[in-house]
Amino acid sequence: DTAVSQTPKYLVTQMGNDKSIKCEQNLGHDTMYWYKQDSKKFLKIMFSYNNKELIINETVPNRFSPKSPDKAHLNLHINSLELGDSAVYFCASSGLPTDTQYFGPGTRLTVL
Amino acid sequence: AQRVTQPEKLLSVFKGAPVELKCNYSYSGSPELFWYVQYSRQRLQLLLRHISRESIKGFTADLNKGETSFHLKKPFAQEEDSAMYYCALSGRGFQKLVFGTGTRLLVSP
């Protein structure tokens, strides 16, 4: 059983388009996260949700909008994609914010 | 502010050589430290955390509160250890893990 899953695995799109990435966890965790890993492998947290409530928004452009329909899902919608949005986006979950985080396989987004 | 510093972007060693990946943290409270590993084009996964005091894949890390360090060590590196390694910090009241910038370990034959 996959603990944290993301779809799609790869996403290639044109500048200006709108796209979504989905994340699901079956670990029963309360907290979910979105991270961005850039070409230099820097890992930056974008958002964190606890029990469907937003608790962290790390100065991310408002073109990025997370949505948590329930505790097990955290989706990321991106409007008006820009070249600089090209990166690998990881979803993660944990029981508590201070606990071990379990990561999804990542979504490699390429904006042309 | 809480911070994690991994001073080496790249560490290159030969197979069989000892490895030490450095991690220093800045936090005035009681820290919890983690090491995560990311093999090529794979997801990040927990390697070890200091409270469990385990040795995973031959790696160990000791929390040194005096030096505010949590260096990752392995006495004899293997080629399959080649990966990105991230040190991370947590603590009471934290709402997230604080990650370092990562160190790429390259083990050559």
Average pLDDT score over chain A: 93
Structure tokens given for A35: 């991270």
Contact B67, B74 (CB under 8 A): no
Q: Are A97 and B32 in contact (CB under 8 A)?
A: no
Q: What is the pLDDT of residue A56?
A: 85
What's A56-99 look like in SS3?
EECCCCCCEEEEEEECCEEEEEECCCCHHHCEEEEEEEECCCCC
Q: Do the Cβ atoms of B95 and A48 come within 8 Å?
A: yes
Q: Give the amino acid at B40.
A: S
Beta strands in B6-102 (DSSP E): 10-14, 19-21, 24-26, 31-38, 45-49, 60-61, 72-74, 83-91, 98-99
* B101 contacts on A by Cβ (under 8 Å): 42
pLDDT tens sequence across A41-74: 899 999 999 888 888 888 789 999 999 999 999 9
Split at pLDDT 50, 70, 90, the class of B94 is confident
Q: Which residues of chain A have a CB within 8 Å of the CB of B92?
A: 98
For residue B52, give every residue at least 6 positions away whose Cβ sits within 8 Å of its Cβ, in sequence order, or none. Answer: none
Do the beta carbons of residue A98 and residue B90 sit within 8 Å?
yes
Mutation target among B43, B52, B85, B92 for the A interface, most CBs of A within 10 A: B43
Proportion of chain B above pLDDT 90, given as a percent: 73
The reply to whether residue B96 touches residue A41, judged by beta carbons under 8 angstroms, is no
How would residue B50 be classed by pLDDT, with cut points 50, 70 and 90?
A: confident
Residue A103 and residue B91: Cβ atoms within 8 Å?
Answer: no
> Best residue in A29, A54, A89, A100 to probe B by mutation, most B CBs within 10 Å?
A100
Query: For residue B91, which residues of chain A lie inside 8 Å, CB to CB?
Result: 98
